[in-house]
Amino acid sequence: MKFFIDTANLADIAEANSLGVLDGVTTNPSLMAKEGISGNENILNHYKAICEIVDGPISAEVIATDFENMIREGEILADLHPNIVVKVPMIEEGIKAIRYFSDKGIKTNCTLIFSAGQALLAAKAGATYVSPFIGRLDDVSVDGTDLIQQIRTIFDNYGFETQILAASVRHSIHIIKCAEIGADVMTGPLSAIKALLKHPLTDIGLEKFLADYKKVNG
Ligand code: E4P
């Protein structure tokens, strides 16, 4: 399973990248706003800065909701760097835009997926990735990982090449469940990735190893 980090924070991106397990980055307008990035030029420069840190797919989202402007924005984003993936919302105009980008060889990430039908439609339009938001489904008392399983079954039934990018991951259990199901990618915050490191028995075991070494070696 590929690991993407879901943030626009350059320090977090660099820290995750330094672990040697990072495959890519996803951003969205809320994450960019959280970092105080505003204005077209600053936004584009920020994407370029992310591309300089991580050598892998970097999702950059369009703001427009009509076909013509999605195309215009997406082409500007795609021209920034070969690793840019144009993130398009799951709406009717978005599906048309995904088909357009796909025909042009521009990679896409269809975002805000909350049902298997939406994922199927995006895959048929040629999306490179679909992003089911599992944490936000959990927030409304629906098990988001059930959706990942449903999409996995459908994509496998028909051999779709569209990758399942489990998004809105909140904690390490989400990551493990998605890995068990066979999601192609997960995107989550640095905290969820680093939580995978932790087990109290590891800490206790290491403490004992070091203490025993010290006993005989001073
Ligand atoms: C997906 O690409 C989104 O950026 C993201 O995973 C949303 O997560 P959230 O529900 O934690 O905002």
16-22 — which CB contacts under 8 Å span 24+ positions? 16/190, 16/193, 17/53, 17/54, 19/193, 21/193, 22/54, 22/56
The CATH classification of domain 2-217, taken from the options 3.30.1330.100, 3.30.420.40, 3.40.50.300, 3.20.20.70: 3.20.20.70
- Does the beta carbon of 168 lie inside 6 Å of ligand 1? yes
Residue 74's pLDDT is what? 98
Helix H or strand E segment including 93: helix 92-104
Residue 218's pLDDT is what? 83
Q: Which residue owns the Cα nearest ligand 1 atom 5?
A: 168
- pTM of the predicted model over 0.80: yes
Rounded to the nearest angstrom, the distance between the alpha carbon of 168 and the centre of ligand 1 is 4
Rounded to the nearest angstrom, the distance between the alpha carbon of 177 and the centre of ligand 1 is 17
The answer, yes or no, to whether residue 106 has pLDDT greater than 90, is yes
- Does the beta carbon of 163 lie inside 6 Å of ligand 1? no
Q: Return the structure tokens found at 147.
A: 């959706």
- Does the beta carbon of 192 lie inside 6 Å of ligand 1? no
Q: Where are the alpha helices (DSSP H) in 105-168?
A: 116-124, 134-139, 144-158
Q: What is the mean pLDDT of the chain?
A: 98
Tell me whether residue 208 is one of the annotated catalytic residues: no
Q: Which residue owns the Cα nearest ligand 1 atom 1?
A: 167
The answer, yes or no, to whether residue 216 has pLDDT greater than 90, is yes
Distance CA(52)–CA(194), nearest Å, equals 22
- Does the beta carbon of 7 lie inside 6 Å of ligand 1? no
Boundaries of every domain in the chain: 2-217
According to DSSP, residue 11 is labeled: H
Rounded to the nearest angstrom, the distance between the alpha carbon of 182 and the centre of ligand 1 is 19
Q: Which of 2, 34, 48, 87 is catalytic?
A: 87
- Does the beta carbon of 130 lie inside 6 Å of ligand 1? no
Question: For residue range 23-61, what is the model confidence (pLDDT) as tens digits?
Answer: 999 999 999 999 999 999 999 999 999 999 999 999 999
Average pLDDT over residues 161-184: 98
Distance CA(152)–CA(130), nearest Å, equals 11
Distance CA(100)–CA(135), nearest Å, equals 30
- Does the beta carbon of 149 lie inside 6 Å of ligand 1? no
Query: Which numbered atom of ligand 1 lies nearest the CA of 165?
Result: 2
Rounded to the nearest angstrom, the distance between the alpha carbon of 205 and the centre of ligand 1 is 36
Average pLDDT over residues 158-186: 98
